[in-house]
Amino acid sequence: MIENNLVIPNNIHKRSHYLEKVRSYIGQNIIKVLTGQRRVGKSYLLFQIIQWVKETDSTATIIYINKEDLAF
């Protein structure tokens, strides 16, 4: 299921330190992978990245796949 209007939660705990580290790789022609244990904030960091990309590049195409969604 692909949604055009991904709703980003409002109650995101800002992870500025990690977001700054990831930003330097945005736009580079490499695969980016976020890894970590369950419930450490990978999805919320991804939401922040999506939000930042949308704010800085209105032409960007973002595909978000939630593999926990049964429709996937």
Amino acid at 4: N
In a domain, 62, yes or no: yes
Question: Under a CB-based contact definition with an 8 Å cutoff, are residues 47 and 12 in contact?
Answer: yes
In a domain, 63, yes or no: yes
Q: For residue range 7-44, what is the model confidence (pLDDT) as tens digits?
A: 667 776 777 888 899 998 988 999 989 999 998 888 88
Question: Under a CB-based contact definition with an 8 Å cutoff, are residues 43 and 69 in contact?
Answer: no
For residue 1, pLDDT over 50 is answered with: no
Residues 45-54, mean pLDDT to the nearest whole number: 89
In a domain, 49, yes or no: yes
Q: Based on the structure, what is the number of domains in the chain?
A: 1
Kindly report the pTM of this predicted structure: 0.73
In a domain, 36, yes or no: yes
* Structural domain of 24: 12-72
